[in-house]
């Protein structure tokens, strides 16, 4: 073989090696992290938990191929959960354990706290947020792009109209849709779930052009929280056609809203797959609290067979629907029965990113990455659900025992609320042996 031919063969081999190195991530490359939060989703509102009313095929596929969390706990309402999620600290240590931050409230997530976005930026991540913040905005310093996120599009308060993006609360009516700290009006009239999905797809496509830094994407959906009281449950009409069997109007509209949410998760997953990012991505899906069932908050979620509703300390108020999905998991397609609290995500994300959570002071969470990755035991034996000095209620779980001290609503909203009536069983998910109904 002459010298020119030898050089040609070597060049070809080098080209093949270079092509292979760009087609798949290195085993030690820091994974992308995509965190998807559903707002007010009930335990019994996904078919991977056995719902026969609401098929959620995209969520199901991720859950069944990943690790479903059957003993996963959140706070009973929005702001406390989001505070714990962002900081790894229990809401009682953030001053956020009672109700939520209202639009005119002059406080927020304490500025002295390090957010997960700030921590991941220190580890080299690009950080983007889409959707609901609900951790204070009375000063710019409290808003997402000043708390570690490179970008944010969405709203600051707890709820709003899905189309005009106005919030009617505490006697105030105002437009609440922002992009990178400024009011943003081109989205007026567009359905929020679809806006957020398109934004997530765009971020993923853009990131795939330069993967020198890993991606942290926090997609905090408005769905399926009720909107303003004048029109609380909103969905594009075409989705209602799928649920003609549900005769209760509120439950039917809610089911359609869940369907849009499920479609969104499918579209985001497809964007990750199409851009080649999925193989090195960890997807986390979680609800923020129990579902508002039986008309609570003018909504019709279902936590059955769990007791209670959103903003109660019964299991229906604090046990969240959650899973983690990734091709990186050594042991997947299973249900984890280990105890897991929402404040565990912060140190878990640090572990996923290759950092050391011990470098962060006063964390209340434990890294669960080893447990999720390899199926080892959870480091938890107990979970403090809450200590609310204003409602004068508290609850604690220790192993298989749970102590509830008093009731948020004095006995109201403490029952078991099956989903509103449905005729027939058009979606027989109970036949799927992978359904988790623990």
Could you list the active site residues? 78, 134
What values do phi and psi take at 190, rounded to 5?
A: -100, 145
Of the candidates 348, 354, 277, the one whose C-alpha atom is nearest the C-alpha of residue 32 is 277
What gap in Å lies between CA 112 and CA 132, rounded to an integer? 21
Q: Are strands 322-325 and 67-73 parallel, antiparallel or unpaired?
A: antiparallel
Length of the chain: 438
- The DSSP output letter for 387 is E
Query: Please, what is the angle between helix 78-87 and helix 345-352, to 10°?
Result: 30
What gap in Å lies between CA 365 and CA 214, rounded to an integer? 23
For residue 248 the two structure tokens come to 């209760």
Q: Do the beta carbons of residue 346 and residue 87 sit within 8 Å?
A: yes
3-state secondary structure of 369: helix
3-state secondary structure of 174: strand
Q: Do the beta carbons of residue 274 and residue 394 sit within 8 Å?
A: no
Helices (H) and strands (E) counted in the chain, each on its own, are: 10, 15
Q: Are strands 151-155 and 166-169 parallel, antiparallel or unpaired?
A: unpaired
Distance of CA 313 to the CA centre of its chain: 20
Alpha-carbon distances, residue 146 vs 133, 140, 347, 372 (angstroms): 12, 7, 21, 31
Cα dihedral across residues 75, 81, 85, 91: positive or negative: negative
């Amino acid at each position: 073989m002459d010298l020119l031919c030898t050089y040609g063969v070597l060049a070809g081999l080098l080209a093949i090696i270079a092509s292979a190195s760009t087609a798949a991530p290195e085993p030690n490359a820091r994974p992308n992290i995509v965190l998807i939060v559903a707002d007010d989703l009930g335990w019994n509102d996904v078919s991977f938990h056995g719902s026969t009313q609401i098929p959620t095929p995209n969520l199901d596929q991720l859950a069944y191929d990943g690790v479903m969390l059957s003993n996963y706990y959140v706070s009973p309402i929005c702001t406390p959960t989001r505070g714990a999620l962002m900081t790894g600290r229990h809401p009682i240590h953030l001053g956020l354990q009672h109700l939520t931050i209202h639009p005119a409230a002059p406080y927020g997530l304490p500025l002295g706290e390090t957010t997960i976005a700030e921590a991941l930026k220190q580890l080299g991540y690009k950080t983007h947020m889409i959707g609901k913040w609900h951790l204070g905005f009375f000063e710019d310093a409290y808003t997402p792009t000043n708390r570690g996120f490179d970008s944010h599009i969405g709203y600051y308060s707890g709820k709003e109209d899905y189309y005009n993006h106005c919030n009617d609360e505490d006697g105030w009516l105002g437009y609440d849709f922002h992009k990178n700290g400024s009011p943003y009006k081109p989205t007026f009239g567009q359905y929020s779930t679809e806006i957020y999905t398109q934004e997530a797809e765009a971020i993923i496509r853009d990131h795939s052009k330069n993967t020198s830094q890993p991606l942290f994407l926090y997609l905090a959906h408005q769905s399926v929280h009720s909107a303003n009281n004048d029109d609380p449950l909103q969905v594009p009409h075409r989705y209602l056609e799928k649920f003609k069997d549900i005769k209760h109007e509120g439950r039917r509209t809610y089911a359609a809203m869940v369907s849009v949410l499920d479609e969104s998760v499918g579209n985001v997953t497809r964007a990750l797959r199409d851009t080649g990012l999925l193989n090195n991505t960890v997807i986390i899906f979680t609800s923020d609290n129990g579902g508002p069932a039986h008309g609570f908050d003018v909504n019709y979620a279902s936590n059955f067979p769990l007791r209670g509703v959103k903003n109660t300390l019964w299991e229906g108020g604090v046990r969240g629907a959650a899973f983690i999905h990734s091709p990186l998991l050594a042991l997947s397609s299973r249900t984890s029965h280990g105890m897991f609290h929402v404040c565990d995500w912060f140190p878990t994300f640090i572990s996923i990113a290759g950092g050391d959570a011990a470098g962060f002071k006063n964390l209340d969470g434990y890294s669960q990455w080893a447990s999720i990755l390899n199926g080892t035991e959870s480091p938890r034996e107990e979970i403090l659900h809450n200590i609310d000095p204003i409602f004068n209620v508290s609850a604690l779980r220790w192993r298989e025992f749970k102590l509830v001290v008093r009731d948020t609503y004095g006995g109201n909203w403490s029952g078991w609320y099956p989903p509103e009536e449905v005729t027939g069983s058009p979606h027989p998910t109970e036949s799927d042996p992978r359904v988790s109904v623990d």
